[in-house]
Amino acid sequence: MTIAGKIESTIAIPGGVSVSMDGTVMKVKGPKGELSRNFAHPRVKVAIGEGKVSVSCEYPRIKDKAMVGTLHAHVRNMFRGVTEGYSYHMKVVFSHFPMKVAVKGGRVEINNYMGGHAPRYADILGGCTVKVNGADVTIEGIDIEACGQTAANIEKATSRGGFDKRTFQDGIYIVHKSHKVKE
């Protein structure tokens, strides 16, 4: 909403969620866990009001308006993460050489990719949990960025440059994201 030289966006705080600010760092606690994020920006302010969080900017430029929308989305993602969580579903696809995927420590180990002898690894970030059940890989967590980057790491570990992707379709691919609703 724009009011005479000011843009402001508000987000209602969901039930069961507590929000606190320590300087520019916002901490959000909910039933699934706790997230914190630094919202330091010279022109955009994030404040906690009565049952809502407001993101505002005085006399915004075009980039400031964009930043208000970006910070609004970050706060909304934090609220959804601590209440519902996020999950990415991936599928292991192979045609000739059966891949073996396992979680070992803080990373995913992929063996026998395209018949290769050296294992490939993908790091698991943040507080994400990765579960492997046959050809299905599930990534769950409360931080959308950590879950998304973990899924991207797994996908990247099985990419092969110089090959036609229409012919060589072996790999591990994202097939569903919990926050993307199909209509």
- Angular region, 161: left φ>0, alpha ψ -120 to 50, beta rest: beta
Q: Give the per-residue pLDDT at 44.
A: 95
Query: Distance between CA 131 and CA 104 in Å, rounded?
Result: 11
Q: What is the DSSP letter of 156?
A: H
Closest CA to 113 of 160, 150, 153: 160
pTM: 0.89
Q: The tokens of 70 are what?
A: 């970006």
Q: Give the per-residue pLDDT at 181.
A: 66
Query: Distance between CA 166 and CA 170 in Å, rounded?
Result: 10
Q: Give the per-residue pLDDT at 145.
A: 95
Q: Give the per-residue pLDDT at 91.
A: 96
pLDDT tens digits for 157-177?
998 888 887 888 899 999 999
Closest CA to 82 of 147, 125, 28: 28
DSSP-based three-state secondary structure for 124: coil
Q: Give the per-residue pLDDT at 96.
A: 82
Q: Give the per-residue pLDDT at 162.
A: 84
**Which residues of the chain are under the pLDDT cut of 50?**
183
Q: Give the per-residue pLDDT at 84.
A: 94
**For residue 120, what are the β-bridge partners?**
110
